[in-house]
Amino acid sequence: MRHNTMKILIVEDEPLSRFFLEQQIRAQGHDVTTCPNAEAALEVYQHTFYPLLVLDLGLPGMDGLELCRRIRALPQGDQSMILVITARDTLEDLQAVLEAGANDYMLKPVNQELLTVRLLIIEQQFANLIQRQRAEEALRESQRRLAATLKSIGDAVITTDKDGKITFMNPVAETLTGWTYHEAVGKDVVFEIVNKDTPAAVENPVKKALHGDIVINIASHTHLISRDATEVPIEYSGAPIKDDKGNITGVVLVLKDITERNNAEEERRQLETQLRQSQRLEAIGILAGGIAHDFNNILGTILGYTELLLNECAENRRQKEYLDQIALAGERATDLVQQILTFSRAQEQPQLTPINIAPIIREVLKMIRATIPTNIEIRQSLNGDCPPILADATQIHQMLVNLCTNASHAMRERGGILEVKWEEVSLTLSQAQRLGLSEGNYLKLIVEDTGCGMPIDVQEHIFEPFYTTKAVGEGAGLGLSVVHGIVKGHHGVITVESEPGQGTVFQVLFPITERTIVQPPSASVEKATLGKGHILIVDDEPALVTLYELALTQLGYQVTTFTQSAEALQAFQTQPDQFDAVFTDQAMPNITGVQLSQELLRIRPDILIVLTTGHSDVVSETDALALGICRFLKKPVKIGVLAQTIGDLLDSQP
């Protein structure tokens, strides 16, 4: 039997089982991706669609049932098949599997022949699902096109049922007759047509088409009498609507107001433009259905418009609360993206800037509160002014998440207290040398728990990659290794003190910097200063371009936008002195933001350029500034930050 290759995601924490599953499924010609836990699988699935997920029920952390629910809650989640592998065979367990959203289940140990049969069945089910979805989408698209065409067409369109009752009126028909669709639906024809040369009424075109089963075409000798008794010269045609068996199901009338005949050609061109726009939007929709859009661009749009709405409804407390929740969710999503990028940039040097870690601590503790057992109490001692350190805020966030998660695991059975605090310490030369540090002032970050503790022999290995004391499948042993790498990258040191049954204390020392913390610009458009100047905006994400243009225009700037860097370069080459500043994305096809900036600076060395990127794999802030770029912003860029940055740049010019 011929197999259709499917992309299959295997989620199994036990390495040997995961290996055998992968080999069995690959042997059938499928494209397989594996994940050791639900959290990793969820991240992978959010970026890549998989027709089939094969997952173990007893996963560490988030279990298989919860993963099923999370997958089904995603936009594409209802399109995937889920096969659960479980050792539990009670009726209650299997019922729970199906209720969580799984399509099928298999009992461990997995029978290879049975797995082969299940995969063949799922292949066919998925093929049927795709075929049905394509047919349904084709029908919906056909209906959308028909509705759009009828609403956009320059003539009045009215349809009736087989009894002559109105079932549809497009906007032109509403204007022409003086009746709205909602007023006219279900009624007989709501207008009268008369001969322009005599007061005599013309035969009802609907009845004529219904009873005569003919197409009616009336030239320009008739007038339509509208609801307010206005006479409008018209041409009209009518035809019966038939089903596939030839039965008449209604009538369609098309009426043209010929007083606008002289504008007919312009109306036709407008209709063609609308059709092209509709086709362009359709193409974008198809593309969006097949690939994942850049997450930072989506977040930038959501957060940007949320900022604008917050400034417009300051007096409406309820709406402001709703928008605050949207903004908070967007910030959480932004943090999630940054955490993912932390791992993808494992070999990259952190971008160290002066920061205050107290807000980061509060944010992390607030975030993990919802993920750890309720029998664990969280305490924080963050009083006073926290001295600044040179750090990468995203990596500090990740370090704290890992330390707090590790502490919560040590207390998950009996509960306890998780406490995070900081203090400023001064190390003498001898104290610093023992720790491999330099003499000076340090910020000591303390993460303490009252959990099970660790013996000395375990403490000696906890920072080694893949070392773990947890049961198989409960952890990969990378959390503290990542923490150790982050601390070293920040020229700090981490120590641990622990005794079995007495809890654990992690202490992290970071050098205190004398450099001043640069406060980020206000995120409020309302507080941004009105400015003037001509700004060139270049980004291949249309939604962001529209947002930036709207926000900066509201502040008084003249804005020119491009979604193609080549077109932006051509415009700049034509009139280089027309623009005061440029705001450009980095990741664009054909010509990147850096390449565009280099060309612009070659043409005009004094042009002010702000570069933005969602990922600094290709260019870092240091690289950008060295090229002559004035500012480097990470996506998603808040509207307030963008406005303040451009305002500051323009204000700095003589």
Helix-then-strand count for the chain, H and E: 21, 23
341 domain residue, yes or no = no
Residues 114 and 172 in one domain: no
Residues 192 and 236 in one domain: yes
Query: Confidence band (pLDDT; 50, 70, 90) for 191?
Result: confident
Portion of the chain with pLDDT greater than 70, in percent: 84
Angle (deg, nearest 10), helices 295-312 and 317-344: 160
557 domain residue, yes or no = yes
Residue 149 in this model has a pLDDT that exceeds 60:
yes
Q: Say which CATH number the domain at 402 has.
A: 3.30.565.10
Residues 599 and 497 in one domain: no
- Residue 619: domain span: 534-651
What is the rounded average pLDDT for all residues in the chain? 81
Residue 461 in this model has a pLDDT that exceeds 80:
no
Residues 582 and 460 in one domain: no
Q: Please tell me the predicted confidence (pLDDT) of residue 615.
A: 63
Q: Nearest CA to 202 among 221, 182, 177, 175?
A: 221
| H helix or E strand, kind and range, residue 405 | helix 393-410
| pLDDT-wise least confident of 198-202, 449-453, 605-609, 616-620 | 616-620
Residues 111 and 169 in one domain: no
- HEC string for 204-230: CHHHHHHHHCCCEEEEEEEEEECCCCC
555 domain residue, yes or no = yes
| pLDDT-wise least confident of 4-18, 238-252, 489-503, 616-630 | 616-630
Which sign, positive or negative, has the C-alpha torsion 594, 599, 600, 605?
A: positive
Query: Over the stretch 82-137, which tens digit does the pLDDT of each residue have?
Result: 999 888 878 888 888 888 888 888 888 888 888 888 888 888 887 887 788 788 88
* Mean pLDDT along residues 329-337: 67
Residues 29 and 105 in one domain: yes
Residues 486 and 540 in one domain: no
Q: Please tell me the predicted confidence (pLDDT) of residue 17.
A: 87
476 domain residue, yes or no = yes
The count of structural domains within the chain is: 4
| H helix or E strand, kind and range, residue 129 | helix 112-152
Q: Say which CATH number the domain at 25 has.
A: 3.40.50.2300
281 domain residue, yes or no = no
Q: Please tell me the predicted confidence (pLDDT) of residue 54.
A: 92
Domain boundary residue, one of 232, 267, 302:
267
Residues 21 and 61 in one domain: yes
Residues 103 and 158 in one domain: no
Residue 290 in this model has a pLDDT that exceeds 70:
no
Query: Confidence band (pLDDT; 50, 70, 90) for 286?
Result: very low
Residues 507 and 577 in one domain: no
Residues 38 and 163 in one domain: no
Which sign, positive or negative, has the C-alpha torsion 12, 14, 20, 22?
A: positive
Query: Confidence band (pLDDT; 50, 70, 90) for 257?
Result: confident
Residue type, 84: V
Residue 340 in this model has a pLDDT that exceeds 80:
no
243 domain residue, yes or no = yes
